[in-house]
Structure 1
Amino acid sequence: MTDSAPAGNAAPEAGPADWLTLPDVAERLELPISKVHQMIRDRELIAVRRDGVRRIPADLVANHTVLKHLPGVLTLLADAGYDDEAALRWLYEPDDSLPGRTPATALAGDQAREIKRRAQALGF
């Protein structure tokens, strides 16, 4: 797991509409900031540097909780060799075969199993 963007700090082509800083996530989840750091280390959340600040896509922390299947998908992506930047690109890559048009939005809906299956297939 990497905490910072690779050299060049290139932003993904597609990406989240809104970002939260780690203190914002801690407040939204009603957790101490140290727990948010632990969740990132444990791949329960994904954080990348944008403008020098670690940020988390806001839609991954919906309704005052982390999306239920996100930790499993992040683990599958890490097992397939994806660092945080690559995992973020994969989560927000447009895909017309998904109802939400990206794995991240589909993960929040009824397609979580399909997203997990696709992430698992990346390891083969």
Structure 2
Amino acid sequence: MSKVPYTDDVLPADAEVLPLPDVADRLGIVVTRVHDLLREGALIAVRRDGVVVVPERFLGSDGVAKHVPGLISVLRDGGYEDAEILRFLYTEDESLPGRPVEALHGHLAREVMRRAQAMAF
């Protein structure tokens, strides 16, 4: 079985992250299924302090946040690396306002998706 994919930790220091077993608990699945989600590109992980973790904001109250897998897919298809995707999601944007990763959980999610599609082309 292949290693669990992760990228450089480019997240802000204050970004809340969850180790993979905690992601599994939160999603109500086994940790190997979280590994599959990472391999399939539905989530992105980083290594922080020697532990592979997922940004907490990638999760919603009932699973993986609705727009996260699609946004990752659109940007990857446009040639963006995982570290670049994380930088986009965690960089403050006054026009939203806030960070795109937070906007994915509200009424501005479609705007974030639209911007990701424009960036990918």
Segments of structure 2 that go 5 or more residues without pairing to the other structure are none
Q: How many residues align?
A: 117
Q: CA deviation at 1:15?
A: 6.2
Q: Which runs of 4+ in 1 moved over 3 A?
A: none
| Seq. identity, % | 45
Is 1:80 matched with 2:78?
A: yes
Q: TM-score, normalised by structure 2?
A: 0.87
Measured on the aligned residues, the alpha-carbon RMSD in Å equals: 1.7
Matched-pair contact (CA < 8 Å) for 1:103–1:115: yes
Is 1:65 matched with 2:63?
A: yes
Q: Identify the residue that residue 111 of structure 1 maps to in structure 2.
A: 108
Segments of structure 1 that go 5 or more residues without pairing to the other structure are none
For 2:14 and 2:89, the matched residues in 1 are separated by 9
Q: Determine which structure has greater relative contact order: mean sequence separation of CA pairs < 8 Å that are 6+ residues apart, divided by chain length.
A: 1
Q: TM-score, normalised by structure 1?
A: 0.85
Matched-pair contact (CA < 8 Å) for 2:104–2:112: yes
Aligned partner of 1:3: which letter? Y
Q: CA deviation at 1:64?
A: 4.0
Q: State the secondary structure of the residue aligned to 1:20.
A: strand
